[in-house]
Structure 1
Amino acid sequence: MERKHVAAEDEHPSEMGIRAAKEAVERAGIDPGEIDLIVYCGAGFYDYRIWSPAARIQAALGADGCYAFEVKNGCNGGNLGINIAKTLLLDDPDKSHALVVCSEKLSISVDYSDQSALSLFMVGDGAAAAILRKGEATNRLLSYVSITEGSTVDSVKVPSGGTKGRQSPESSGGMGGYIRIDDPAGLDRILSQTYLENYIGVIRRALEKSGRDLEDLDLLLTNQVKRSLLEDILRGLDLGWDHTITSIKDYGHMGTVDGLFNLSRAMDEGLAGPGKLVVLASSGAGFTWAAMPIEFL
């Protein structure tokens, strides 16, 4: 990476999410009053604790009468949020539109003096949003596949602010504490055995459940990881660099935002359009992996 985007001190996740949401509503050509669900996905801090950014976005849009809630699943939250919104729309004949918003201000979570947190130096800030419309004629969301490996759950965390680690001057970095990586060498050793296998596995299973083959895949959009890891993922699927889009060089890794951010870029550049099969794939601390194919009609 060469640079990353960092939000201003007075620029917060809900505000970035509102801006992305307004653009998504405008592009979709709908009225905010048509939105039945708002799903907010963020791996990092909200503007406040015990507070709803989804409700803040609802009020800002004037999406009166809809249901707004939050989803947390590490950097996989955006992918999961899309699947939850899809399921809720299909299960209720009275619902037709959902808004999924991903917004992150992760840069405040990084302690640049902590050598063990080197792998976190790439995290940045940003927002993306999408409208899901039941019966949409231009694309279809296909099967969603996910898996979690909980053995490393305590390896990546903010140790302060929870019930086990009340906020203290010694532990409070940024607005709510820095992310710590316990035993990074041990974490790398464990993940080296499962990370790539699970990442490739969920992509293969999602395509299989959707009745598609790897040969049908036109574009793979991942959460932004280091180049060597992405090379391994592509190699494991027998795909080339022409089958993906990266944004880490200029934007860093924006947590839940990466997938929708690059899907928007792909659509603008004509890489995701009629006749194309795109897979949104992601991983998140916990650790969780997921994949969802999108078929453009």
Structure 2
Amino acid sequence: MTPEDVDVLIYFGSMHKDYYVWLAAPRIQELLGARRAYAFELSGASAGLPFALKVARSMMLADSSLHHMLLVAASTESMLLDYTNHRSRFIFNFGDGAAACVLRRGSRRHIVLESALLTDGRFADFVRVPAGGSVLPPSPETLERRWHYFNVTDPIRMKKMLDPITLDHFVRVIREAMARSGCHHLDFLIPLHTKRSLFEALLSALGLTDAQAIYLSDYGHLSAVDPLLGLYLARQEQRLRDGDVVVLVSAGTGYSWGATVIQWGGSHE
């Protein structure tokens, strides 16, 4: 395909972009020469991919004129880390990267099926960059206090609230997405980058082995990029077989969880 074939471009990556209060999607459209496409953005933080796939698939089902949708994510949030602030140490594993995928109408291979999404707004204010928005506009004081970096307002309380539910929420969205897709057996899991113990607990809860999942041990956490990078690596390493039911799963601050099912290889009956 060529850039002129793209009907819609969705940017679902980090909100930390080239400029403050600025849209990356139109700039990407221009750089690619995808002038037929309209471009917009959505954000689910690190959970962005399942949200973007849900929206894109729904748009294609609702509008028969859409034939190619380009989804793009990028993250350079390592720039927002203050390594002297130990309250935010759970995100010290951030890396930088980008990824993209194309949804094509009528494709008989690698078919995007259903998604399941979940948000718990009790976590909305735990992780944020304090200054730069309307609550604390930029000022000499905010710069001096280093308020333009990530901060976790109450890490102990967040952990106390999050630990008992996060594994259950991962499993819930995975199982819901599979049920909606009419799939009863999971062959391969591609999660976002997490601590190793959570990754292993998730495999155990789903009855999977290490051979049935990919762990981004060499890359760190790239926000919404993670599952697409994992899918790329799994394909490069020839770990996916025709007919496999593959689930991409993510979670992002806010807090949201999401999963999308892909029928790898041939068409889904």
TM-score by length of structure 1 reads: 0.86
* Equivalent in the alignment of 2:229: 261
* Equivalent in the alignment of 1:271: 239
Which residue, out of 203, 219, 222, partners 2:188?
219
Which residue, out of 91, 96, 99, partners 1:128?
99
- For residue 79 of structure 1, report the CA deviation from its aligned partner: 2.0
The amino acid of 1:261's aligned partner reads: L
Which residue, out of 198, 202, 205, partners 1:229?
198
Which residue, out of 38, 51, 57, partners 1:67?
38
The amino acid of 1:269's aligned partner reads: E
Which stretch of the first structure deviates more once superposed, 280-289 or 77-86? 77-86
Q: Distance in 1 between matches of 2:13 and 2:142?
A: 22
* Equivalent in the alignment of 2:123: 152
The answer to whether residue 132 in structure 2 is matched with residue 161 in structure 1 is yes
The amino acid of 1:254's aligned partner reads: L
Flag the 1:294–1:189 CA change in 2: closer, same or farther, 3 A.
same
8 Å contact 1:142–1:210 — kept in the other structure? yes
8 Å contact 2:192–2:221 — kept in the other structure? yes
Moved over 2 A (4+): 168-173
Which residue, out of 258, 261, 264, partners 1:290?
258
Q: Distance in 2 between matches of 1:245 and 1:257?
A: 14
The amino acid of 1:241's aligned partner reads: D
The answer to whether residue 220 in structure 2 is matched with residue 252 in structure 1 is yes
* Equivalent in the alignment of 2:5: 34
Q: Distance in 2 between matches of 1:165 and 1:79?
A: 31
Cα deviation per residue 1:179-227 (whole Å; 9 max; x = unaligned)? 10011111000001211111111111111111112xx211101110000
- For residue 176 of structure 1, report the CA deviation from its aligned partner: 8.5
* Equivalent in the alignment of 1:111: 82
Q: Distance in 2 between matches of 1:134 and 1:91?
A: 12
Q: Distance in 2 between matches of 1:62 and 1:77?
A: 25
The amino acid of 2:110's aligned partner reads: N
The amino acid of 2:102's aligned partner reads: I
Cα deviation per residue 1:64-118 (whole Å; 9 max; x = unaligned)? 1211011111101122112211111221111100000010001011100111111
- For residue 120 of structure 1, report the CA deviation from its aligned partner: 1.0
Flag the 1:210–1:63 CA change in 2: closer, same or farther, 3 A.
same
How many residue pairs get aligned? The number is 264
8 Å contact 1:44–1:105 — kept in the other structure? no
- For residue 43 of structure 1, report the CA deviation from its aligned partner: 2.8
Cα deviation per residue 1:113-158 (whole Å; 9 max; x = unaligned)? 1111111110110000001101111121111101111111111111
Alpha-carbon RMSD = 1.5
Cα deviation per residue 1:245-279 (whole Å; 9 max; x = unaligned)? 111x2211000000111111112222234111110
Flag the 1:266–1:148 CA change in 2: closer, same or farther, 3 A.
same
TM-score by length of structure 2 reads: 0.94
The amino acid of 2:160's aligned partner reads: R
The amino acid of 2:201's aligned partner reads: D
